[in-house]
Amino acid sequence: MASEKNGRSGSGGTERVGARAAAARPGASAAAPIPPAVPSAAPPARGESVAGAEFGQAVRRWRDRTAPDAAGLPSGGHRRASGLRREELAQLAGISVDYVTRLEQGRASNPSAQVVEALARALRLSGEERGHLFRLAKLAQPGPETVPERIPPGVQRMLDRLAGTPVAVFDAIWTLLTANPPYAALMGDPSGWRGLERNSVWRHFVGPGGRARQTPQARRAFEATLVADMRAAQAKYPGDPRLRKLIAELRAGSETFARLWSEGAVGHHESARKTIDHPQIGPIDLDCDVLTIEGSGLHMMVYTAEPGSEAADRLALLSVLGTQAFTP
């Protein structure tokens, strides 16, 4: 969600990592032999475990078969291999390149369920492949008592078809799962965010906020809606430890959240016109819509501009320049 603190988003939405289904290389499959370059043929080195090595081999194999364009990344330029680079997988999964390297080499053998889910999304694994990755990590797949983080194939296809439009997907408690390049260029690159930094409710009430302006009235309505979202999630997933920890952090870190929580604030998201203050491009007036996916509770946030408007021109410029053009 573009949750904001000082001048944040209106009643529209909020901000772990991106779902990607793998497109196999010609002649390759999930059961294909592991290339010799992968350290799978050798026995685990000291400090490694057999399970850790097998997990790393699977990640490397699926990374090698996943074409960049199938994962929503540009495929131009010289590439030594047709699959994803480690830094690309790290970007898509929202984890560090060093951690991806250690996982693939079997030197990090206890990934969390959130990391496994993020890798499955980034590699666009099938349901069976995702289950296999959880088993290799010796983890149970998340059950119905936990907040879903899996992006269904239909939602992923919508993301693919909106490649030129700023779009992000959040789970039911507004933790960022994936954001496409136009969204990152508009709202700030989230690839380096970790833990609570990826949760838009936390960013709004406790963290640095965001780029969308808010009137005092809009902010009050927006905050009430966020608290209502959290309470609805708690009622649906009372056994989720991640959700319990987040609520505790919010109540301890924000007097406003604690007060609204105690008052039982209610609200709902509506389509809204927002002004995004981009640090280089300047203010951009956009329509923000939040679509909630029934069943999973996922939130899809979409920003659009009126065709032919100055905002449309600025949005097009941002999509071309991306996030790197503004890096000092």
Span 205-214, average pLDDT: 92
pLDDT tens readout for residues 284-300: 999 999 999 988 899 99
| pLDDT at position 322 | 73
What dotted CATH number matches 20-144?
1.10.260.40
| pLDDT at position 14 | 40
What dotted CATH number matches 153-322?
3.30.450.180
User: Where along the chain do its domains lie?
Assistant: 20-144, 153-322
Domains 20-144 and 153-322 share a fold: no
Query: Rounded distance, CA 36 to CA 48, Å?
Result: 19
Indicate the range of 45-54, 92-101, 147-156, 292-301 predicted with least confidence.
45-54
CB of 115 closer than 8 Å to CB of 98:
no
Q: Quick one: CA torsion of 249, 255, 260, 263, rounded to 10 degrees?
A: 110
Please state, for a pLDDT cut of 90, what percent of the chain lies above it. 50
Does the pLDDT of residue 327 top 60, yes or no?
Answer: no
pLDDT tens readout for residues 157-200: 898 889 889 999 999 999 999 998 899 999 998 888 888 999 99
Query: Rounded distance, CA 193 to CA 8, Å?
Result: 18
Token pair, residue 167, equals 């779009």
DSSP 8-state secondary structure symbol assigned to residue 99: H
Q: What are phi and psi of 110, to 5 degrees?
A: -130, 60
pLDDT tens readout for residues 107-132: 887 898 889 998 998 898 988 999 99
Which CA distances in Å does 112 have to 50, 52, 125, 129, 162?
A: 17, 13, 17, 17, 30
| pLDDT at position 51 | 64
Query: Rounded distance, CA 221 to CA 301, Å?
Result: 18
Span 37-60, average pLDDT: 61
Query: Rounded distance, CA 80 to CA 73, Å?
Result: 16
Query: Rounded distance, CA 195 to CA 81, Å?
Result: 31
| pLDDT at position 23 | 37
Contacts of 86 (CB under 8 A, 6+ apart): 63, 97, 100, 101, 104
| pLDDT at position 76 | 65
Confidence of residue 100 (pLDDT cuts 50, 70, 90): very high
DSSP 8-state secondary structure symbol assigned to residue 295: T
Mean pLDDT of the chain: 82
| pLDDT at position 156 | 87
